[in-house]
A = this chain, B = another copy of it.
Amino acid sequence: MGAYADMSREELQREYDAAAAKFEELKSRGLKLNMARGKPGKAQLDMVSEGLFSVMNRPEDYISDGVDCRNYGELAGLPAARRLFAEILGCRAEQVIVGGNASLQLMYDAISKAVTHGLLHSPRPWCKEEKVKWLCPAPGYDRHFKVTESFGFELITIPMTPDGPDMDAVEAAIADPAVKGMWNVPKYSNPQGYVYSDETIRRIASMKPAAPDFMLMWDNAYCIHEFRGEFAEFPDILSECEKYGNGDMAYEFASTSKVTLPGAGISCMAASEANIAYFLKLMGIQIISYDKVNQQRHVLYLKDKAHTLELMKKHAEIMAPKFRTVVDALEREIAPLGIAGWNDPRGGYFVSLDAMPGTAKRTLALCKEAGVTMTGAGATFPYGVDPDDSNIRIAPSLPPVEELQQAIEVLCTCLKLSAAEKLLAEKQ
């Protein structure tokens, strides 16, 4: 078996027929599998639940730093929860606001407030601007892109590299004062699992955007989410930006969605003290306080960074075999055919695969037909349009390994089928 590109029409036809037969066999299994979303699996939830739900027992557990976490108050979050996130992110507790169960909500709300009220250095609310443009390193996280699309911003694609966003492209783009911000998942990027290099971070932190209220969205969703190897230290973006006089540019986000529970964790926004003061004033209109009982539950359960990293090791034991299963199958089934490339990350929640250009949609439609749901084609690009129709995001976390083996078998078969189909059509 060699690369499809080198095959004759007859050889390709044989490959196609074999894949088609395999596809029919897989379809007949009536599978119903899901690799669409970075959802932790049941084993991870079970591992956490018992401990997390039993830490709050005694009356003294309701009190933290003298605050009764059951009542109203402490808009910025429990001091102990702010300290916990600060330790994990490497910033100061005063730079942290602890929110509800969703960092996405904190990100959306921060941008929404920029639109309705403006940021600290905004000449006016963004809804009064002629046009707002936004930088989207792609492939990237579809929910990020959808937030900025939803507010009517013009999304500008920035190519991703293994070192992070193409900084030449970024530096050229920010000369336009209408460019108001940029999405980032700096550690184990979604979906490629890339880690921004020190040089990329330095160039980002020292940017001089034309917009005085440029919003560097730093979604550190996978800050402690290694599933292979040791915890990798990562620069604190707030102090990096401070170094270059850009202290008020960075808005960092993190959550325990993939540390404790996806639906019932806690989240945070970290920013300069000036930004925190500005945002607390705006947030105080919206909410009296976030759920401090759940914050206290997390403080008691996670304790500190070292203890949290121990828990992440246990998540890694569950996650690593799943990623192994995916990458091994791709290496075995797809690598020899030369019809796709992929990454093999050390952390995060995704494997990003680049199929033969023009075959991603077709591959995912076939997967669906065989009962395997994947992230929609194009989702990793602004407006949901992948110009090459190539990128496929694989999310191996939810299914148990046995199911995953079947799901990846389906994906490999569909990749072969769509590639052979396309090459055959081109040879006609």
Q: Which residues of A contact B (CB under 8 A)?
A: 37, 39-40, 42, 45-46, 49, 53, 56-57, 59, 62, 68-73, 100-102, 104-105, 108-109, 112, 115-117, 125, 127-128, 143, 146-147, 150-151, 257, 261-264, 282, 285-294
Contacts and interface: CB of A to CB of B under 8 A. Distances in A.
Nearest to A264: B293
Given A45-B70, A263-B70, A112 B116 contact: yes
Contacts of A40: 71
Contact of A286 (B105, B262, B293): B105
Nearest to A146: B285
Contact of A264 (B42, B69, B151): B69
A104 B39 CA distance: 29
B104 A287 contact: yes
A288 B146 contact: no
A46 B49 CA distance: 24
A288 B127 contact: no
Contacts of A288: 102, 104, 143, 262
30 contacts: A42-B68, A45-B62, A45-B68, A53-B57, A69-B264, A70-B261, A70-B264, A71-B262, A72-B263, A100-B101, A101-B290, A102-B287, A102-B290, A104-B287, A105-B286, A108-B286, A108-B287, A109-B286, A115-B116, A117-B150, A127-B127, A143-B288, A147-B285, A147-B286, A150-B282, A263-B291, A263-B293, A264-B291, A291-B294, A294-B294
